[in-house]
Amino acid sequence: MPNPADTLTLADLQNWNRRDEAGNFLPSLAVLGHPVAHSVSPPMHNAALAELAKKHPALRDWQYFKFEIKPRELENALGIFLKNNFKGLNLTVPHKIVALDFVETASEEAQAVGAVNTLAAQAANGWDGFVTDPYGLKMVLANELEVNLAGKTAVVLGAGGAARSAVVHGLEARAAAIWVGNRTKDTLTGLLERLQPFDPGRKVRGFDALNPPVRDWPKDVVVINATTVGMKRHDPLPFDVKQLGHDARVFDMVYNREGPTKFVAAARAHGLRATDGLGMLVWQGAKSLSIWIQALEGIEIKPEAIAQTMMAAACAALGLPPRHA
């Protein structure tokens, strides 16, 4: 039987042997990425599944794995996952955007973001696509920073898939204004053009990340780092927090095993409320699991019921002190 702690490959999928005594494939879940070895999604999801199976026996054979899938392998792999009775998949870098081309349906939110991070198997041998990142952002802002973007000004650093999710959440939450900063003008322009159909009030505007218009932002601005800057120890800060007033909030989508990221540490040293991306990972994962279970077993699971179990498992896997989801 495959081990959820192992980083599996397309070859492992092609030779999948996770079967019951009758020879049928057991229900499985997985995260796909390139790279993916660092992912703590398997311990998170398997901890939640073990807890849920106590009340819902239909889930006792479900198990979650991680697969290193290269971009050129994705389309072929998705078909094999279906044949091998994978009920759902999470997608991480670099698959979120391209996977839109391989799903049968995509939620309205996923279409707005232009990416999917959650696939649920259809009975008709296809995948339904969802994005749970905006939900994860909403929950971590509310629970860890005690802020709602309604009526607020949000500043999003970056213009990739993570930034799209942040902007879509800001629009859904009815933020007063959303500023998007990026160093590459063409990438920024492309993002703004894509979001125009979803932004009738023209709340989204761009700026050069090297020259932020700080004077145009209120003191209680919410700054969201949606870049990968900060994942490496020697990365520069994505933004100079000393330019912010003391009512500002800072959220860094990055997280690491050493504790607070450099951006979070700098914000806290400046007297700001700040947190990293581990909570967002947990909440988007809890939402994904609830989607799969509802769609395939008809069991309604609220993400709130499993988020703390997933957070505890994530902290243990990363060697971090316990924290609340």
Q: State the catalytic residues.
A: 96
Q: For the packed helices 303-318 and 133-144, what is the interaxial angle rounded to 10 degrees? A: 80
Q: Which amino acid is at 88?
A: G
- Distance between CA atoms of 162 and 253, rounded to whole angstroms? 8
Largest Cα–Cα separation, the chain? 67
**DSSP 8-state class, residue 166:** H
- Distance between CA atoms of 269 and 266, rounded to whole angstroms? 5
Q: Provide long-range contacts, Cβ within 8 A and 24+ apart, for 147-153.
A: 147/222, 147/249, 148/173, 149/173, 149/174, 149/175, 149/222, 150/174, 150/175, 151/175, 151/176, 152/176, 152/220, 152/221, 152/222, 153/177, 153/178, 153/179, 153/217, 153/218, 153/220, 153/221, 153/222
Cβ-contact 106, 47 below 8 angstroms: no
Q: Which amino acid is at 214?
A: V
Q: Are strands 127-130 and 177-182 parallel, antiparallel or unpaired?
A: unpaired
Q: How far is CA 198 from the centre of its chain?
A: 21
- Distance between CA atoms of 149 and 275, rounded to whole angstroms? 16
